[in-house]
Homo-oligomer: A and B are copies of this chain.
Amino acid sequence: MTETPGPAHSQTLSRGVRTLEILAAAPGPLTIAEVATQLGVHRSIAYRIVRTLEDHSLVVRDSAGRLAPGPGLAVLARGVSRDLQSAALPELTELSQSLAMTAFVVMWDREECVTLAAVEPRHSGATLAQHPGTRHPVGVGAPGIALQSLYTPEQWRIQAPGQVYRPEAAEAARLGYATSHDEVIAGLSSVAAPVRIPGGRPAAVAVVYIRNDQDPGTIGTAVHAAASRIESALA
């Protein structure tokens, strides 16, 4: 959402990306006029941007001419940590079935964790969805603690300036997994384990569930084992 002017940045390109961000955040399709207002530009400029994005299938129009994110975005997103997605998917499937919980993998994006892929358990009453593209702050919840557990407080300060280092990270480093309760969403618990990525920032594999009597240790062991297998597949 940052719009940093200056010679090292392109305003036109930034507006185009902002258009995609606006459409992705909207609850439904928007008119050109609504997009222009949110961008803070004249409608003719918004029209030019939208036409260009349409050429690349990143924006589509519905039968009323309103704008929505297009299928080309799914193709671009396929390239995000493709090796990690491929390595994680069978492990997420296995975890979700064996624990009967939604399993997901997050990437670390500066102040946030972004869900890259998720698998829900076999349809059995209430299932928690954790859609790809969901964000939550890195300082909240088990995935963030799991990421921190790979760093000392000093290293974390360099990796994530301004982001609090949580004391639970030391315990997570010892156990190989992190736990959280009532953090991102009240009533929900999460268990996560870090995944080291060759040449890149670490990721985390996690499960989320409605607080229950299951032993966090059993869950943690399973999540940690899945993370280890993903690491081996990436090595």
Which chain A residues have a beta carbon within 8 Å of chain B's beta carbons?
1-2, 4, 7-10, 12-17, 20-21, 23-26, 29, 47-49, 51-53, 55-58, 60, 62-64, 68-81, 85-86, 89-90, 93-94, 97, 107-110, 114-116, 119-123, 127, 129, 131-135, 199-201
Contacts and interface: CB of A to CB of B under 8 A. Distances in A.
Contacts of A107: 71, 74
Given A74-B132, A133-B75, A133-B78, A56 B14 contact: yes
A48 B79 CA distance: 21
A41 to B, nearest CB: 12
6 contacts: A17-B58, A62-B200, A72-B114, A73-B76, A74-B114, A74-B133
Contact of A9 (B1, B52, B62, B127): B52
Nearest to A201: B60
Contact of A71 (B63, B94, B116): B116
Given A12-B12, A21-B76, A122 B134 contact: no
Contact of A79 (B73, B93, B119, B121): B73
A24 B76 contact: yes
A205 to B, nearest CB: 15
A107 B71 CA distance: 7
Given A71-B107, A107-B71, A109-B57, A52 B114 contact: no
A74 B80 contact: yes
Contacts of A52: 9-10, 13-14, 17
A64 B197 CA distance: 13
Contact of A62 (B17, B77, B199): B199
Most buried by B among A12, A115, A135: A12
Most buried by B among A29, A80, A123: A80
A134 B55 CA distance: 19
B70 A80 contact: yes
Given A68-B79, A69-B80, A78-B131, 18 more contacts: A2-B56, A7-B48, A9-B51, A9-B52, A9-B55, A14-B55, A17-B52, A21-B75, A24-B76, A29-B199, A57-B110, A63-B199, A63-B200, A71-B80, A72-B114, A74-B77, A74-B80, A76-B77
A119 to B, nearest CB: 7
